[in-house]
Structure 1
Amino acid sequence: MFREHIRLHPSIPYTENGDHRTTIEIHKFVTAEMYNYCRGHNLAQAWAYLWNQWYSPEQWKLWSLASKPFIPHINTTMIVESLWMNLKHKDLAMYHRPRLDLVTYVVINSLLPRIKLTLQNLRETRRVGRGLALKAWQKALKAKWEDCSRSDEERLCALELEVRKKAKTGEKGREEKLASIEEAKTRKPGKYHTDINSWVCSCRDYLICRFLTCKHLIREANTALKGLPLDKR
């Protein structure tokens, strides 16, 4: 539920007709949904914490995408946190409470050269002419795209084979997974509003995907591209 609340945005439709909520309507909706959940499960203390630290109007603006005029590509402060983690655990790991002059020296002579190489890789100005290796997130996105490009029958069949191979007979959770797959086979496909130009979809998978994509968008994009890259259409 919380993952969906983070990703809701006025640009993302929530019905198959392409209806959109305003920022205020999204805040009212997510607050009411979380409140009703806590009330239904007798979680008064949890709701008090969630309201004060997350869902009050002042706090909600700090973490919700809906409070922004556009959909950001980077979540929260993870890039800055990653930078500090590398500095503390890689460059300054052997020092206990280092002096400021030492930290400055390490940043200039150790950290900045790595950042410079990273920027060159991002701007494709390093080793010009050579093919660039895919980064971890690019590999994950490629795998996601290839998986969603397959039909539902093929995906469910592959998932069932994977469960049967890895999970032993009688293993905890195996039967539940197989039952879930069988249920998915008989489930009727839903109807969603999909727009590849804005790259938004009203389905739930779109909201919880780290790449803000889903099988509906990918399949529609494949149809529009006719299976060819953009530069070869």
Structure 2
Amino acid sequence: MLCNSTTRKQMTGMVGKHYDLHHKFPVLLQNEDGTSRFSSTFSPQQIHQAVVYQIYQFCRDKNLVFVWVYLYSNWYTINEWNTWARSTRDAFPSAKTTMMVESHWRVLKRVDLLNHNRPDYLVFKIISKTCAKKIRQFNEKIARRVTTPSWENDFRSEWATLASRELTDDGESLYEVDTARWVCGCPYFVHSRFLLCKHLVSSRMVWWLGMP
């Protein structure tokens, strides 16, 4: 064990926030004396430098030498960073699919390849079974709407919750709310599962209702 559970929780939360950053998302900042706040965007290179420095300072302050070595060599070198960080892609994904992909291949390995370790057999199973199942699920949930995706109720619930929240007068200008690009600089948006926040939801509802 390289660190205690409390430190590990703080660290995993920090790494998760590092993943969420993107060069198209404004970030809320404040000047040195703390008298004013503003939003700004950063390049992918600037984001990488900033997160490496933050995780380094965190490990240094807590004297976690081996944790820093592990994190940097396995997660934060530029090559490793490019494999998982959202800011290394121009388009930003709305879902974290690594877990689903890994789960999919684990089933293929443990079920289909367990007693039949043949690549040609695996290709046959993917084409005849896996792809057919995915196409059927897409048609049921998206094309024909026979059933709804499991995440849709969560999306509706979060939208309704955000729509009921009050807005501050300077929120739209402070966070550079842009419904056309669907981005906002508020802290809630960048870490939202569905890329939602009360500023974007409110602006969209005003547009739907035709309000000035």
Match of 2:150 among 112, 136, 143: 136
| 8 Å Cα contact 1:3-1:207 kept in structure 2 | no
Q: How does 1:38-49 map to 2 (within 5 A)?
A: 38-49=59-70
Q: How does 1:52-91 map to 2 (within 5 A)?
A: 52-87=73-108
Structure 2 distance, partners of 1:225, 1:52, is: 49
Within the alignment, does 1:151 sit opposite 2:134 as a pair? Answer: no
Match of 1:2 among 3, 15, 20: 15
What TM-score do the two structures reach when normalised by structure 2?
A: 0.73
What TM-score do the two structures reach when normalised by structure 1?
A: 0.67
1:115 is matched with which residue? 134
Task: Letter of the 2:152 partner, please give it.
Answer: Q
**Superposition RMSD on alpha carbons, in Å?**
3.0
Cα pair distance change 1:79/1:192, threshold 3 Å:
same
Count how many residue pairs are aligned between Structure 1 and Structure 2.
185
Within the alignment, does 1:199 sit opposite 2:190 as a pair? Answer: no
Within the alignment, does 1:213 sit opposite 2:186 as a pair? Answer: no
Cα pair distance change 1:227/1:209, threshold 3 Å:
farther
Deviation at 1:141, TM superposition (A): 0.7
| 8 Å Cα contact 1:63-1:76 kept in structure 2 | no
Please list the CA deviations of residues 163-210 of structure 1 after superposition, one character each: whole Å capped at 9, or x if unmatched.
xxxxxxxxxxxxxxxxxxxxxxxxxx9753322221111122212211
Give the secondary structure class of the aligned counterpart of 1:201: coil
Deviation at 1:123, TM superposition (A): 5.6
Please list the CA deviations of residues 27-66 of structure 1 after superposition, one character each: whole Å capped at 9, or x if unmatched.
1111111111111111111111111111111211111111
Structure 2 distance, partners of 1:9, 1:152, is: 26
Match of 1:97 among 106, 110, 115: 115
Please list the CA deviations of residues 118-161 of structure 1 after superposition, one character each: whole Å capped at 9, or x if unmatched.
2433661x5xxxx54321111111111011111359xxxxxxxx
